[in-house]
Structure 1
Amino acid sequence: MVDNNVNDHSVVEITDEDRDVIARINVDSEASRDRKNQVELTVSSLRGKLHRQPPFPACSCIFRVPKVLRRHNEKAFVPNLVSIGPFHHGEENLRVMEEIKRWYLHSLLERKPTPETSLECFVEAIGRIEQQCRDCYGEKLDIYSGKFVEMMVLDGCFIIELLRRYKRLVLWDDNDPLEYTSWMLKVLQNDLFLLENQLPWNVLKCLFELTKVNDDHSLLELALNFFESSVFNQTPQIKEGVQTKHLLDAVRESLISLHKPQSTGTSYWETIPTVTELLQAGVEFKSKSREWNNMLDITFKNGVMEIPPIDIESNAESLFRNLIAYEQCEPDIAICNITSYAVILDNLIKSSKDAEFLIQKRIITTILSKEDLACFFNGLYKDTIPSHFSYVELTKNVKQYYNHRWNRWRTILSRDYFSNPWTIMSVVAALAILVLTFLQTLYSMLSYY
Structure 2
Amino acid sequence: MTQTAPPATAADLPPARRRALTVLVVSQVLGGAGMAAGITVGALLAQDLLGSTGLAGLPAALFTIGAALGAAVLGRVCQRFGRRPGLALGNGIAALGSAGVVAGAAAHLPLVVLAALFVYGAGTATGLLARYAGAELAPPERRGRAAGTVLFAMTLGAVAGPNLVGPTGTLAHTWGIPRLAGPFLLAAAAYTAAALVLLMGPRPTPPPPARPGPPREAAAAPGTGPRGPLRARPGLITGATVMITGQLVMIAVMTMTPVHMNGHGHTTQAVGLVIALHVGAMFLPSPLSGLLTDRLGARRVAAAAGAVLPGAGLLASLAPPASVPLLACALVLLGIGWNLALLSGTALITDAAPAENRAAVQGLADVGMSVAGATGGMASGLVVGSGGYPVLAAAAGALALAVIPAVALRGARR
**Shorter-normalised TM range:** under 0.3
Calculate the TM-score normalised by the size of structure 1.
0.19
Could you state the TM-score of these two structures normalised by the residue count of structure 2?
0.20
Structure with the greater alpha carbon radius of gyration = 1
1 or 2, which has the higher helix percentage? Answer: 2
Greater relative CO (CA pairs within 8 A, separation 6+): 2
